Amino acid sequence: MRIAISINRSWNIYNFRAGLVRALVAEGHEVIAIAPKDQYSRLLMKMGCRFFPLEVENTGSNPVKDLLLYFEYLKIYKKIQPDIVLQYTIKPNIYGTLAAKKLKIPVINNVSGLGTVFLNNGLVSFIAQFLYKIAFRKTDLVFFQNEDDRREFLNTINLPKLNTDLLPGSGINLTRFTPQPKMNGQKFTFLMISRIIKDKGIYEYINMAKMAKANKMDATFQLLGEPDVGHRRGISKEELETWHKEGIIEYLGVTDFVGDVIKEADCVVLPSYREGTPKTLLEGAAMAKPLIATDVAGCRQVVLDGQNGFLCQVKDEGSLFEAVNRMYNLNQADLDKMGTYGRKYIEKNYDENIVIERYLYWIDKLGNKSNFKQTKL
């Protein structure tokens, strides 16, 4: 089959869907990536994808630009004539789906987390929820990453007959992320990995680190991730630099080799306001690191309180500090026990192959239904 994958960044396909792409190529499918061009686009082509550039704004709701995006999708889908389209992130999920269904192309959507659209109640959220309802009325399948998200989405959008399925996030490559000993021997290290936006709990993490230092905790607090300054809830590079210079955190920037950073941490932290299935927690647990996360949808499914980590209250740096302090005061045997439990839990429930098998099943079931007579690209 000819399978199109549309998402808001080539980086997202490479970092979160590489295993699926390789599996589809290995099955003999022709895979076409549709996303904004960046330094990861050529890596997708090396994996065996064809690549079609498409500019997608990650933020904003300019109706003219969004209408143009819909027509760009129409033009691309008419040209490539896919048997099925896999859509990810909000604008591809909406405008890509509307275009595909206009052309009677089967669509599988993936809602990887409800995020700001469902956390807030403003006009932008209302419009986005309305557009989701219009787009998803005719879609063939929507994957959700946890039951909380599926239930809230269906209740909010009011599409009780929507065909849905659950996935354990994007899964985790258990061969790439394996338990490894810490080599640098530095003091106890807490590591947060995320996009640098408010909704990930960045300010709570910073304030908690200040509390830890005020309480003479001999620990390092690291932050790894890309600033999203264009996001309306993004955090400026100047703030990051200030926190780093003041010694509140060590800001590590970005890397394609996140496992090398996790290896040197003692605990992975994510005080997010809401998640689908957070990849950073899966990576940390797969490497046998204890976890700390907020007791919210997406996080509570990965962190089993007291077994592979600790949960804390959302938007509460005091609760986060209590969890960090508990972790800091555990002996090495208890830390290792948590890490071992976490690795086994991930092996059983979040193996990337589980995700790939569900996609292959649904692609086989829904694909080959388009009205196009395919031509060679």
Domain boundaries, the chain: 2-171+352-366, 188-349
- Identify which of 274, 276, 294, 300 has the alpha carbon closest to the alpha carbon of residue 113: 276
- What's the confidence (pLDDT) of residue 238? 87
Are the C-beta atoms of residues 223 and 301 closer than 8 Å to each other?
no
- What's the confidence (pLDDT) of residue 279? 94
Domain range 2-171+352-366, CATH architecture? 3-Layer(aba) Sandwich (3.40)
- What's the confidence (pLDDT) of residue 105? 95
- Identify which of 126, 76, 128, 127 has the alpha carbon closest to the alpha carbon of residue 102: 76
The conformational region for residue 304 under phi > 0 = left, psi -120 to 50 = alpha, else beta, is beta
**Are both 2-171+352-366 and 188-349 of the same fold?**
yes
Residue 188: in which H helix or E strand, if any? strand 188-193
State the chain's mean pLDDT as an integer. 91
- What's the confidence (pLDDT) of residue 138? 87
Question: What is the pTM (predicted TM-score) of this model?
Answer: 0.89
Low-confidence residues of the chain: pLDDT under 50: 370-372
The 10s digit of each residue's pLDDT in 30-41 is: 999 999 999 999
- What's the confidence (pLDDT) of residue 276? 86
Phi and psi angles of residue 265, each rounded to the nearest 5 degrees, phi first: -95, 160
* Domain 188-349 CATH assignment equals 3.50.50.60: no
